[in-house]
Amino acid sequence: MAKEKTQYTCNECGGSSPKWLGKCPHCNAWNTLIESVAESSAPAKNRFASLAKTAEVTTLADIDASDVQRTPTGHDELDRVLGGGIVEGGVVLIGGDPGIGKSTLLLQALDSLQRSGQKTLSAAGPPQGAKAPSGGSGPRAAGQRGGTLYVTGEESGAQIALRSRRLGLDGSQVSVLAEIQLEKILATLAHTQPAIAVIDSIQTVYSEQLTSAPGSVAQVRECAAHLTRAAKASGTAIVLVGHVTKEGALAGPRVLEHMVDTVLYFEGDTHSSFRLIRAIKNRFGAVNEIGVFAMTERGLKGVSNPSAIFLSQHSEPVPGSCVMVTLEGTRPMLVEIQALVDSGGPSPRRLSVGLDRDRLAMLLAVLHRHAGVACTDQDVFVNAVGGVRISEPAADLAVMLAITSSLRGRALPKGFIAFGEVGLAGEVRPAPRGQERLKEAAKLGFSVAVVPKANAPKKNDKTFEGLTIHGVDRIEEAMELARNLG
């Protein structure tokens, strides 16, 4: 293929230069020039002429838009984060630490998609002529196209085959392509027309058009853009595996996350076998949904009742522990918050794992000012059990109760849960979807709940059988209640 001309474009001002420079000659910004393919310089007249021909305006009502068609992957937990399944022409970016299980999960998903695709085909016969939406030949339904394709740039075909044997996917009909050159991958995609293709990973793919090394910002951006375009044009769903940086963010340009339809993060503690998959962005579903998996010798298995994982197993209540109900996407989950308050040195430490440290400092100040609980000369450690990360403020009340419980050395009562946001004025604010949280707690056999007054059900409400619910307005009230109950 003839090599196209490349140029270096400034990220800041858009100015271009024929060769790489440390400093942009236009805006004087440092280290902002990124390699890109130079656009062909067609005469200006022709360019406008072609533009005039392509523009066609339609009203929204005239566009034939059926609901997005989703193909379930056969893994409920993965489908949950995807918003129901793989969408045709959709592009998913999945990132995660090395060795967390990205390739394993995707291989399992491809295998079950391939199997279900074959079943659909044999049950329904060859696909009918696809109904083309206005404006050209449209994509056919995923699962009825030509199966699945696993493009691997990191491992050899033999390694993938070995993994598939280990996972018990004997006789898997997933097609594998060991290739890292973008042009060849695109040609294969166009030729084989798979329903879904996995690119493992986008950092290993390189385009011939650019001279930069694979994995560089320019290469990743260019390759992802081409693959996204191919997905939209052909209807093939593409899953890109992305590396993460040392800080845990997706490596490569930030623009990658804007380009794709769905961004998933695979996270988990390397010491535990549980893995969480979290939707950060989803154009086809809710975000902040999580899927929970357990890594076993036979691959990743979905965990349908994750609440049990995040509670540590105490036979009797211990001081410094308080269970809360957090809402991850649409799913309420019980998580144990643990606190340890211990006498510290001259500059006491405040450490939190799985919770925001600034918020912890704020809660300690509120605790001191409004509830008269002082931890000024104490080290305070707070941990969300099970490696889960809680970002919602509804954890406030549980954190404060756990800290107080540890400080006083008195356990909260058995079967106790609490949730609610606490403000700087000491007020307890309602948490979204309180009823669902309470329902989950009642389902799992909890007996006492301290919640914001606005979340407490009416007196004669019989929905939460077995759960005594105390509604509180202020943090003082919550502390008083905990003291009396404990």
Ligand X SMILES: Nc1ncnc2c1ncn2[C@@H]1O[C@H](COP(=O)(O)OP(=O)(O)OP(=O)(O)O)[C@@H](O)[C@H]1O
Q: Provide the binding-site residues for ligand X, judged by CB under 6 A.
A: 96, 98-104, 154, 166, 295, 297
Smallest separation, CB 181 to ligand X (Å)? 19
What's the rounded Cα separation, in Å, for the pair 261 and 285? 10
Residue 329 near which of Mg ion, ligand X, none (CB within 5-8 Å, type-dependent): none
Smallest separation, CB 105 to ligand X (Å)? 7
Cβ nearer to Mg ion, comparing 103 with 338: 103
Smallest separation, CB 103 to Mg ion (Å)? 3
Residue 6 near which of ligand X, Mg ion, none (CB within 5-8 Å, type-dependent): none
> In sequence order, what are the beta bridge partners of 265?
95, 278
Cβ nearer to Mg ion, comparing 9 with 103: 103
Smallest separation, CB 81 to ligand X (Å)? 16
Cβ nearer to Mg ion, comparing 95 with 452: 95
Smallest separation, CB 154 to ligand X (Å)? 5
Classify residue 259 by burial, with Cβ atoms within 10 Å: 0-12, 13-18, 19+: middle
Residue 99 near which of ligand X, Mg ion, none (CB within 5-8 Å, type-dependent): ligand X
Residues 97-156 touching Mg ion, rule: CB under 5 A, are 103
Number of other residues whose CB lies within 10 A of the CB of residue 139: 21
Q: Is 164 in the site for Mg ion (CB under 5 A)?
A: no
3-state helix, strand and coil shares in percent for the chain, rounded to the nearest 5: 30, 25, 45
Cβ nearer to Mg ion, comparing 202 with 340: 202
DSSP 262-293: EEEEEEE-TTSSEEEEEEEEETTS-SS-EEEE
Residue 145 near which of Mg ion, ligand X, none (CB within 5-8 Å, type-dependent): none
What's the rounded Cα separation, in Å, for the pair 389 and 267? 10
Residue 33 near which of ligand X, Mg ion, none (CB within 5-8 Å, type-dependent): none
Residue 3 near which of ligand X, Mg ion, none (CB within 5-8 Å, type-dependent): none
What's the rounded Cα separation, in Å, for the pair 384 and 356? 11
Cβ nearer to ligand X, comparing 81 with 451: 81
Task: Give yes or no for a cis peptide into 201 (omega within 30° of 0).
Answer: yes
Q: Which of 441, 446, 453, 444 is nearest to 478 (CA)?
A: 453
Residue 18 near which of Mg ion, ligand X, none (CB within 5-8 Å, type-dependent): none
What's the rounded Cα separation, in Å, for the pair 204 and 243? 10
Cα dihedral sign, 42-43-44-45? negative
Smallest separation, CB 94 to Mg ion (Å)? 10
Classify residue 160 by burial, with Cβ atoms within 10 Å: 0-12, 13-18, 19+: buried
Cβ nearer to Mg ion, comparing 102 with 145: 102
What's the rounded Cα separation, in Å, for the pair 229 and 345? 59
Cβ nearer to Mg ion, comparing 92 with 334: 92
- Contacts with Mg ion by CB under 5 A: the residue count is 1
Smallest separation, CB 107 to ligand X (Å)? 7
What's the rounded Cα separation, in Å, for the pair 79 and 109? 10
Residues within the interface to Mg ion (CB under 5 A) = 103
